[in-house]
Every structure is written in structure tokens, then in C-alpha cells.
Structure 1
Amino acid sequence: MSTALGRPDARAAVTFLGTDRIEVLRFQEGDIVRYATLGMSAHPMTDPTAMLADPVKGPRAELVLSVRAGLAETDKVLRPLAVLGASPQVEGVVVAPGASLDVGEPLWPGAPFSSVLVAEPGGLVEDLELGEPMDPVRFLPLLPMTPNEAAWKRVHGAQALQERWLTSGTDLRDPARRSVPLD
């Protein structure tokens, strides 16, 4: 992660009852601030329907959120991002591309977003290979969604929402952006 993002300029740690510590690192490059979880990949994610959790094999991931600096109090996203990073341990979910994650409150003060779309990895931070038999750590980008976008995505799917954003030229890094037209 440090190869792709550089050195973090801030970090915060959150521990939830019954879970391992999740850190959120902050990286700034020009007018872009990136927040990345650290600790989510300590254990493989387990399918909640599985009879037994494999302590070694299974998908591993960390989350990366990128926003434009100085347009909102985005540093307040640290706790909500840690909550999302702890969700595999707390809720027994497997976080994968196309999934929606919701924190139930604005991601930062005044944010028009309370949920994110998990995007495909590999663009910004390459997978981190671990020794066999462990799966690599995937760095999953998070794309903030307005409540209307999240509802539209539930009906039409992640790919359709991403196409809407692309067609409309939506700046997904704008921390104060409005919903894409969905009619």
C-alpha cells in the first residue's frame, strides 16, 4: 500500500468489542485525500452460511476511499470507515466488488452519503500476494452513494449505476456532489 500511496500523514485506530483493531490511514497527494483501512485483512472473510470458518483460506481485503481535499470535513470519515472495515468480523459478511455497504449515518458531517459501492480492485493499489495457501489482499475502492443512488443500485445493479456515473461525467471524488440523474 505504501508503494502506491506513499507515507500516511495521519492514522487512527478503532477497536470494536470482540474484534481486532482496525486502523484507518490518511494519505494526501495534491488535492486528493485517500483513506485506507489496515487490519481488515488480518483474517480471511468467511461466507456467513459456511459451517466452519477456515482460519487461513478465503478472501482478504482492505478498503480505500478517495475524495477531493478541502471541500468537506472528510477526516471525520475515519470511524465510519473503520466500522466498514470491521463488518466482516462483526457481521460475518464477505465484502466484494458490487456490494453496497451502509453506515446508517453521513460518512462525514454534512455528507450526502451514508453508503458506498465497493468497486473493482487493481487500479490504484495492486493486490498484495501472501504466502500459500492464503489468498492475496485486495484493495477495494469505495465509491460514495447518495440514498437515491443506493436505492437505484438495489433495483438496477452496480454496473448500471457505474454506467450512469460515467455517462453523466460524475466526479465520484467530490465530497459534496449531488446524486446522478436517475430517471
Structure 2
Amino acid sequence: MSSVSDKVAAHVTAVLGGEPQRASVTFLGVEPIDVLRFVDGDEVTFATVGCSRHPMQDPADLAPDPMRGPRAEAIVRMRAKAPLAGLHKSLAMLAAAPAVEGLILGADSLVDLQEPLWAGAICSAFLLTADAVVPELPLPEPADPVTFLRAVPITANEAAWVRLKGAAALREAWDEAGTDVTDPVRAAVAPH
């Protein structure tokens, strides 16, 4: 039987198509996180492989279930208007957060790395939402399915806005401003 990571890589590749580039990032004490990179015209999609290897658990749980619990992977879509050097490492850090910091990733989660997500970026955090393109991947019982979360790069000011007013308020501000969150050189939105 193939591993969860093999199933995730095959699932994402089948949905997005093409042959992705693959980078592996390792963190001390954590199994490697792979990041797949798909290019389709001027759109670049990054997808993590490895976050869902194990279910996400509350670190206070002294006897976590090794099979049951939420599993997730992250997807980032950007337009290739500028180099995105280092984005795969930031995405791997996001994917490693459940194992390293005990985070449980889900829709409307805010993960602030407090450093540029790629060289020259104004964005330093990710806002997660359900991905509309990659459907969840069922796993054999009793394991929960793997959910794919779109990780939208956001600025420090936008992250502060999410903490203060919530993710929905930031999304409304993007809509009002006509913000293209896939533009790597976009201006930060100033919610009101």
C-alpha cells in the first residue's frame, strides 16, 4: 500500500496536471516536507506533500489517535510576475507547523511566519481557506480524508486586521479594493 504522501502527490498531480518540480525541505526532528511546483502559463501553483502524513493533534492530548484526526496540505497559487525565490521554504514551514508547534490547520487559520515569504515579498503570513480546485482525498477507514487548504500570502498589516476583525472582513476589503491575491507585487490592502 502506498503512503499517504504518495497518494497526496498522485492526487494533486492528477488534478493540476503536468509534471511538477519537486523540492524537499527538512526540519530538525520532523520528516521531510516536499513542495510540488506546477507551472501553467503565467500561473504557478505550489502544493505541500507531507503535512498530512499524520493526523493533526492537540499537543495537550497525551494519547493521540494515530489514525483519526484532521489531515491537511497547503496550496499556494501565484501569478509569475516576479521571482518567488524561497516561497517553497515558507510553504514547507507552514506544512511543518502541526508537527513542530502543534497547530491544527483549517479554514480561516492565520499562520504568521514574521519574515518575508519569498525574497523581496511584503507578505509575511498565510491566511488559509478551503481550496476550490483540489478536492479532499479520502483515505482508508478509519483515517480522516486529506483536506487541501489554499494558503493566501498576506502582509503583516493584513494579518493584524485578521486578528482584530476576522478573515471575512479582510476578504471583503480585498473584494472592495479589487485586490488580486495571486499578484506577488500587489499592494497591501488597508481595511477600514
Q: Is TM more than 0.5 here?
A: yes
Cα distance in 2, alignment partners of residues 98 and 49 from structure 1: 22
Counterpart residue number, 1:11? 22
Counterpart residue number, 2:3? none
Q: Establish whether residue 101 from structure 1 lines up as the match of residue 117 from structure 2.
A: no
Q: 1:119 deviation in Å?
A: 0.9
Q: Which runs of 5+ in 2 are unaligned?
A: 1-11
Q: 1:66 deviation in Å?
A: 0.5
Q: Tell me if the contact between 1:126 and 1:138 (Cα under 8 Å) persists in the aligned partners.
A: yes
Match for residue 126 of structure 1 among 135, 140, 163: 135
* Count of residue pairs the alignment pairs up: 181
How do 1:40-51 residues align onto structure 2 when only pairs under 5 Å count? Answer: 40-51=51-62
* Percent identity of paired positions between Structure 1 and Structure 2: 46
How do 1:144-159 residues align onto structure 2 when only pairs under 5 Å count? Answer: 144-159=153-168
Q: Tell me if the contact between 1:146 and 1:178 (Cα under 8 Å) persists in the aligned partners.
A: no
Paired AA for residue 72 in structure 2 = A
Paired AA for residue 186 in structure 2 = R
Q: Tell me if the contact between 1:26 and 1:35 (Cα under 8 Å) persists in the aligned partners.
A: yes
| Mean CA deviation greater in 135-144 or 161-170 | 161-170
Counterpart residue number, 1:161? 170
Question: 1:18-75 CA deviation, whole Å, 9 max, x = no partner?
Answer: 1111000000111100000001110000023323211100000100000001x22214
Counterpart residue number, 1:65? 76
Cα distance in 2, alignment partners of residues 110 and 75 from structure 1: 9
Q: Which runs of 5+ in 1 are unaligned?
A: none
* TM-score, structure 1 normalization: 0.95
Cα distance in 2, alignment partners of residues 39 and 125 from structure 1: 16
Equivalent position SS for 1:53: coil
Paired AA for residue 149 in structure 1 = E
User: Which structure has the highest strand share of the two?
Assistant: 2
Counterpart residue number, 1:83? 93
Q: Tell me if the contact between 1:8 and 1:25 (Cα under 8 Å) persists in the aligned partners.
A: no
Cα distance in 2, alignment partners of residues 163 and 47 from structure 1: 31
Equivalent position SS for 1:74: coil
Would the alpha carbon gap of residues 11 and 55 (structure 1) be closer, same or farther in structure 2, given more than 3 Å must change?
same
Q: Tell me if the contact between 1:100 and 1:115 (Cα under 8 Å) persists in the aligned partners.
A: yes
Equivalent position SS for 2:74: strand
Equivalent position SS for 1:130: coil
* TM-score, structure 2 normalization: 0.90
Q: 1:85 deviation in Å?
A: 0.7
Counterpart residue number, 1:176? 185
CA RMSD of aligned residues (A): 1.1
Cα distance in 2, alignment partners of residues 100 and 83 from structure 1: 13
Cα distance in 1, alignment partners of residues 174 and 63 from structure 2: 39
Cα distance in 2, alignment partners of residues 104 and 52 from structure 1: 32
